[in-house]
Amino acid sequence: MDQKAEIATKITEMFREHLNINVPAHDTDLIGMGLLDSLALVDLILKIEEEMGIAVNMEELEIEDFRTVDTIATYLMTLKSAAA
């Protein structure tokens, strides 16, 4: 499994375990489907920071980065490589 797919799987797990939300697929439109509202978004970001050790700057966040599990994974990859 490549690193991005690994992160995507981990995000899907966070949705299920932490937010009690089943995400059907990695390309599901989380915002369009109403799965991700402001409350869930904040919880998710806190969880990502805690479990993956990545700092997410809320000021610079673009909502399109959180459109699908795939886009979140891509976004986190860029954050990781920027920090490295």
Partner 1 sequence: MLLHDLVTRQAEQRAARTAIVHAGNTLTFGDLETQSDRLAHLLAEQGCVKGDRVCLFLPKRPRAVVGMLGTLKAGGAYVPIDLASPAQRVERILRVCEPKFALVTKEGAKLFQDSCAAAGITPRAIVLEDDDQGLDGALTFADVLAAPTTRPDPGLSDGDLAHVLFTSGSTGVPKGVMITHKNVVSYVEWAADYLGTQPGDRASGHPPLHFDLSTYDIYGNLGWGAELHMIGPELSLIAAKLAKYIREQELDQWFSVPSILTYMAKFDVVKSNDFPAMKRLMWCGEVLPTPTLIYFMKRLPHVTFTNLYGPTEATIASSYYTVPSCPEDERSDIPIGKACAGEELLVLDESQKPTPVGEIGHLYIRGVGLSPGYWQDEEKTAAAFQPNPNLEGDRIYRTGDLARMGEDGNVIFLGREDSQIKSRGYRIELGEIETALSALDYLKESAVVGVPTGGFEGTAICCGYAPAEGREITPPEIREALVGALPKYMLPARWKEFDALPKNANGKIDRRKIRELFAGESS
Out of 6, 16, 25, 78, the residue judged to bind partner 1 by CB under 8 A: 16
Interaction of residue 20 with partner 1, rule CB under 8 A: yes
Decide if residue 83 touches partner 1 (CB under 8 A).
no
Tokens describing residue 71: 């886009």
Between 38 and 81, CB nearer to partner 1: 38
CA–CA separation, 83 and 55 (whole Å): 9
The answer to whether 53 touches 47, Cβ cutoff 8 Å, is no
- Asked if 61 interacts with partner 1 (CB under 8 A), we say yes
Return the residue of 6, 22, 27, 55 that touches partner 1, per CB under 8 A. Answer: 22
Radius of gyration (Cα) for the chain, nearest Å? 12
Backbone torsions φ then ψ of 83, nearest 5 degrees: -80, -25
- Which of the ranges 2-10, 55-63, 75-83 carries the binding residues for partner 1, by CB under 8 A? 55-63
